[in-house]
Structure 1
Amino acid sequence: MSSISDIIEHYLKKILSESKTGVIEIKRSELADAFQCVPSQINYVISTRFTIEKGYIVESKRGGGGYIRIRKVRLKNRQETFEDLLEQIGESIPQITAEHLISRLLEEKWMTQREALLMRRLISRDTLKLPIPLRDQMRARMMRMLVTTLFSSKGE
């Protein structure tokens, strides 16, 4: 059985995919009422599942007429996607951010389920048993190499 967070995420992704503009505006309180949960549950879903690493831009306006605007970032071409990923990886990357990038690559069909599984296992803290600053740096080096290999081996 899915958690309420999974259900809310699925709902938001569904209406986002149906949006002609690729943007949705929602009211936190209305969404909380619809799913019979507290508004902080909506905040949690949006802050953890609609991140820039996963390819979303979230804007919010608080107050009486407040809203949350979610936009799916669509990169135009292969080179732009590659450059954006390398920039997000940087010189050091925590595991959760790396996993979000892998999810985005999978969701946008830049990689297969198997490639995603291999990448997740390779960059996990269980595999990289190093002190934290070094572990995040090593993970970034591995992610850059994996992304470079992935983008050089796939045809357009």
Structure 2
Amino acid sequence: MRCITDIIEHHLKKILNESPTGMIEIKRSELAHLFQCVPSQINYVISTRFTLEKGYVVESKRGGGGFIRIRKVKHASKRTYFDVLLKQIGQSIHQAAAEDVIDRLRDDGIITEREAKLMRKSVSREVLTLPVNVRDQVRAGLMRAWVAILLADKGE
């Protein structure tokens, strides 16, 4: 059985995909009531599953009329998309952020689930058995190389 965070994430992605604007506004308390959980559970889902690395922009306004706005980032071209990824990767990237970028590539249909698994494993701590600062730099180098190959494969 899936956990509540997975269920909430799936629900939000579903309504986001159905939105003609590519954006949704939700009330934290209403969503918490719908899923019979505490509002902090909604905060957790949004802060961990809807990150910039995964291709989302989140805005929130607190208070009585408060809301959370989630927008899927869309890029003008594949080139812009890959440029943004390269900037996010940078010269050093920790494992969780790398996995978020890989998930974004998979969710956006750039890579398959199998390719995502291969990439995730090859940038894991278990494979990159190096000191942390070196490991994060090697991980970033691998990911920049993959992005360059994916961009070339897309004919950009």
- TM-score bucket of the superposed structures, by smaller chain: over 0.9
* Superposed CA RMSD: 1.0
Give the Cα separation in 2 of the matches to 1:113 and 1:154. 18
1:28 — aligned with what?
28
**Cα deviation per residue 1:17-73 (whole Å; 9 max; x = unaligned)?**
111111100010110011000000000000000000000000000111110000001
Deviation string, structure 1 residues 64-94 (Cα, Å, up to 9, x no partner): 1110000001122211111111000000000
Tell whether 2:12 aligns with 1:12: yes
Q: Gapped runs of 5+ residues in structure 1?
A: none
Which residue identity does 2:82 align to in structure 1? Answer: F
Supply the distance in 1 between the matched residues of 2:121 and 2:137 (Cα, whole angstroms).
Answer: 16
Aligned-pair CA distance for 1:114: 1.9
Partner in structure 2 of residue 124 of structure 1:
124
Partner of 2:95: 95
Greater shift in the superposed pair: 119-128 or 144-153: 144-153
Provide runs of 4+ in structure 1 moved above 2 Å. 153-156
CA distance in 2, matches of 1:75, 1:119: 23
Aligned to 1:43: 43
Determine the C-alpha separation between the residues in 2 that align with 1:22 and 1:149.
Answer: 28
C-alpha distance in 2, partners of 1:76/1:8?
29
The residue type paired with residue 33 of structure 1 is: H
Q: Give the TM-score, by structure 1 length.
A: 0.97
Aligned position for 1:139: 139
Amino acid at match of 1:153: D
Indicate the SS of the match to 1:69.
strand
Cα distance between partner residues in 1 of 2:92 and 2:65: 39
Distance 2:12 2:121 in 1: 29
1:155, CA displacement in angstroms? Answer: 4.3
Matched with 2:154 is 154
TM-score (norm 2): 0.97
The CA distance in 2 between the partners of 1:107 and 1:95, in whole Å, is 18
Q: Which runs of 5+ in 2 are unaligned?
A: none
Structure 1 residues 50-89: aligned runs within 5 Å: 50-89=50-89
% identical equivalent positions: 63
Letter in 1 for 2:144: R
